[in-house]
Amino acid sequence: AFDAFARQLLVAPPAEGCADQALLIAPILNPDGLVRGHWRTNAGHVDTNRDWGTFATPEIRAVGQRVEALAASARIVSVLDFHSTRQGAIYVSRDSSPRAQAFASAVQDATALRVVRTRSAEGNTLKSWSEARLGSESFTVELPDSAAPEEAAAAGRAIADLYVAHYLCPTGARP
């Protein structure tokens, strides 16, 4: 889903007159864990999904530093974090903006993912860290482990198109 999401964003960029924004795309923040077949923990047995704010792992620390550097020169509008788990969902904070709520609802309508509204800044996840530290609208996309590759890719493409519509080009203009 993440690969399809990124490709969809890069293949059809927003039209002129849409938001002037940069994208930071960081795939696989747990590379050594992935190679070993451990989705949650890295080679040091640390859950990298819960390391935001503490930055005990080199991989999360490196991405966190990059995001902090970007935030020093520009506002980070939104963050999307892709995962897989037993069931599909898109997590959004209960107190997020109407635009964030509309984006999450549109994702639910276009995919098999259900909207889960959470308390803001809860835990040491990327979503909670980016909300608390950066003031960004943040989402966690969880695709079910059982999703077929084409189903996951279709969800990724749909999420990318909705992201463009809600964040990069809310006026509707698109090439």
Give yes or no for a contact between 136 and 78, defined as CB atoms under 8 angstroms apart. Answer: yes
What does DSSP say about strands 114-118 and 89-93: parallel, antiparallel, or unpaired?
parallel
- When the pLDDT of each residue in the chain is averaged and rounded to a whole number, the result is 88
Q: How confident is the model at residue 165 (pLDDT cuts 50, 70, 90)?
A: confident
What pLDDT, on a 0 to 100 scale, did the predictor assign at position 171? Answer: 61
Give yes or no for a contact between 174 and 14, defined as CB atoms under 8 angstroms apart. Answer: yes
Q: How far apart are CA 140 and CA 125, in angstroms?
A: 9
Q: Which two tokens stand for residue 104?
A: 């999450």
What pLDDT, on a 0 to 100 scale, did the predictor assign at position 104? Answer: 97
Q: How far apart are CA 56 and CA 48, in angstroms?
A: 9
Kindly state the average pLDDT of the residues 24-43: 84
What pLDDT, on a 0 to 100 scale, did the predictor assign at position 174? Answer: 45
CA 15 to chain centre: 22
Is the model's pLDDT at 43 over the cut of 50?
Answer: yes
Is the model's pLDDT at 173 over the cut of 50?
Answer: no
Q: How confident is the model at residue 44 (pLDDT cuts 50, 70, 90)?
A: confident
* Amino acid symbol at 84: S
* Helical axes 2-11 vs 149-163, angle rounded to 10°: 40
Q: Which pLDDT tens digit goes with each residue over 124-147? A: 999 999 999 999 999 999 999 899
What pLDDT, on a 0 to 100 scale, did the predictor assign at position 172? Answer: 54
Is the model's pLDDT at 24 over the cut of 50?
Answer: yes
What pLDDT, on a 0 to 100 scale, did the predictor assign at position 34? Answer: 82
Q: Which two tokens stand for residue 109?
A: 């309508």
pTM for this entry? 0.89
Is the model's pLDDT at 66 over the cut of 70?
Answer: yes
Helix (H) or strand (E) holding 141: strand 137-144
Task: Tell me how crowded residue 44 is: count the other CB atoms within 10 A of its CB.
Answer: 11
What pLDDT, on a 0 to 100 scale, did the predictor assign at position 175? Answer: 40
Is the model's pLDDT at 79 over the cut of 60?
Answer: yes
Q: Which pLDDT tens digit goes with each residue over 9-21? A: 888 655 666 766 7
